[in-house]
Amino acid sequence: MNKKSVKRGLLPYIFLLLMILVVFYIFNVVNVKNNTLTYDQFIGEINKGTVTEISIVPKEAAMVYQITGKLKGYADNETFSVKVPLSDSIIANILASKEEVGFKVTTSEDPSSSTLVYILWNVLPLVLLAGFAFFFFSRQMNSAGKSMDFGKSKAKLNDEKNKVTFKDVAGLKEEKEEVKELIDFLKNPKRFQKLGARIPKGVLLVGPPGTGKTLLAKAVAGEANVPFYYISGSDFVELFVGVGASRVRDMFKQAKHNAPCLIFIDEIDAVGRQRGTGLGGGHDEREQTLNQLLTEMDGFGTNEGIIIIAATNRADVLDPALLRPGRFDRQVTVNLPDIKGREEILAVHARNKVLAASVNLSNLAKRTPGFSGADLENLLNEAALLAVRRNKDSITMSEIDEATDRVMMGPAKLSKKYTEKEKTMVAYHEAGHVVLGLKLDDANDVQKVTIIPRSYAGGYAMMVPKEEKYTSTKKELLERITGLLGGRVSEELNFGEITTGAHNDFEKATKIARSMVTEYGMSDLGPVQLEQQEGGVFLGRDYNKSRNFSNEVAHEIDLEMRKIIDQCYKDAKKILQDNKDLVKLVAEALLEYETLTKEQIEYLAEHKQMPKEEVSYETYSMTELRMIARERGIKGYTKMTNEELIEALKKSHEDKEEE
């Protein structure tokens, strides 16, 4: 919390406490018992000798002495008071001979005779009360003003301390070129105006989540060095109708005062959805907000020097009026990065990471197709957390491999126990995928295979395309289906029974087969598109598919899908029967090592044995080295230095390999 706001919040309470203390002090609001005596009673007490002390204050205006004091037997908080005329001779004698009267006598001046004391005594309490009342009521008025301040824009100016530039954005070369025009225009508008060019009023960044749309918009503001307002689409939507439209007006009003400037609206689909699509009528507040946004972007008024950048991953649900020229003139698609882009993104996120020399970002980029920039950042962060957990000085490939598995499938379920039969069946299932990946030219390549349970899977094979391409041939799709069916075929061939472990493989294979028949025209039904995805505007997801065929054609689609799946199943069965020994070899290696990498799989297929394990003990922490030494039974390991432990472990490993 901000320290200044904390201090401001405490000031009223401090002020109130001081006022109470002053009032208590001035009015002497103390728990004191005061007894009023008559003149005769007072004189009688003096004659009896029961007076222990008195204090005399002459009140010349009233021609009396104001006397207070104590009698014998009084409590600490008990006093008496009496008024005596100034002409009284007894008091005059007491004042003349204070030392001889037998009790303590003090005198003081009349405080009312001092102008300053009079003001403090009579005026200051009233001033304090008036000041507190003014402070309280002004605070209440400010709070009421804030509570009615719905229509003010919630757009915030970009913080210069956290400035982002194009150096921080990797893997978006073409996208950066598209938005560089905006920066050039903001810096040198005459260059464009000279040729009659009109810069786009709005740029819509479209792409899957995590691809860097918001980061790209921040970089534009950082490079242009102009005021940059940012707001989320949901900040416009309020409970009260008309508030969102008021906020849009106020946002553009602020922007006009700071033109040229940029406005960034994140998740614009929250306010820019197509009008009139809700069940039972529209959403009045959202539609009024959208209408105001449309008017401000290209209405009767001009907004010179204001450029709007918006981001969404659902461009299909936006209102057509929002996408027409004059509003969002340009759409920039921010796709998932390719292999080169992933390598550049990894290099950016690895700047503040301590990576071991063995880490190769190029190889890591090859193993992560389909990862967004956010996924890659999360992967390296998970690897760093694992390295800290293992007390290592740097991030090694071991942590990166584990982090990749965690991002894709979740943490390993090491406590989950297999039965031996179940473990063997999982090993042969994954071995079926591996062998088909090796034998089929266009099937997905197996980068890594493991039988360690993760999430709901008993094991999994990391299968990625051999090459990243924009299009796929019919042969490639068929071999991809064949590779997916390899696990079920291997179970059937080696055990004569089948398990539920292939359900995810079937889901992917069926989806590819149906798309081949209904969308790609890759079946005997001919080159026609029978189905197409439609964005469900109300639902917000692609649940709907338009059907352009009869029930008879639907039956033919089912037959064509069955034909594709059956043929791929037969092909997988033939290949695995012809390579039964290789399936067994991979399965046995999995049962022993539990996890195999692509390099180990290729070496195993070529040499019929696993490669010799090369262990780099230099990357291990001292704690891990001692744990390994204890497991191997190395004597005296607790007294060894780090270098001595490494040498002892290497010798132990060589002896184990020879055995």
Q: Which residues are catalytic?
A: 430
Tokens of 502: 């292939």
Cα 494 to chain centroid distance, Å, stands at 48
- What is the maximal distance between C-alpha atoms in the chain? 138
Tokens of 386: 């694992």
Compute the 3-state secondary structure of the chain and give helix, strand, coil in percent, each to the nearest 5: 55, 15, 30
Q: How many helices (H) and strands (E) does the chain have?
A: 25, 16
Phi and psi at residue 69, in whole multiples of 5°? Answer: -175, -170
176 contact partners, CB below 8 Å, separation of at least 6: 166, 169, 216, 219
Q: Do 449 and 605 form a contact (C-beta atoms < 8 A)? A: no
Burial of residue 487, with CB atoms counted within 10 A of its CB: 0-12 exposed, 13-18 middle, 19 or more buried: buried
Nearest to 583 by CA among 490, 444, 501, 448: 490
Dist CA 443 CA 463 (whole Å): 9
Nearest to 593 by CA among 460, 430, 451, 437: 451
Tokens of 458: 């008993």
Tokens of 448: 């890594």
108 contact partners, CB below 8 Å, separation of at least 6: 55, 56, 57
Rounded CA Rg of the chain: 43
Dist CA 66 CA 113 (whole Å): 14
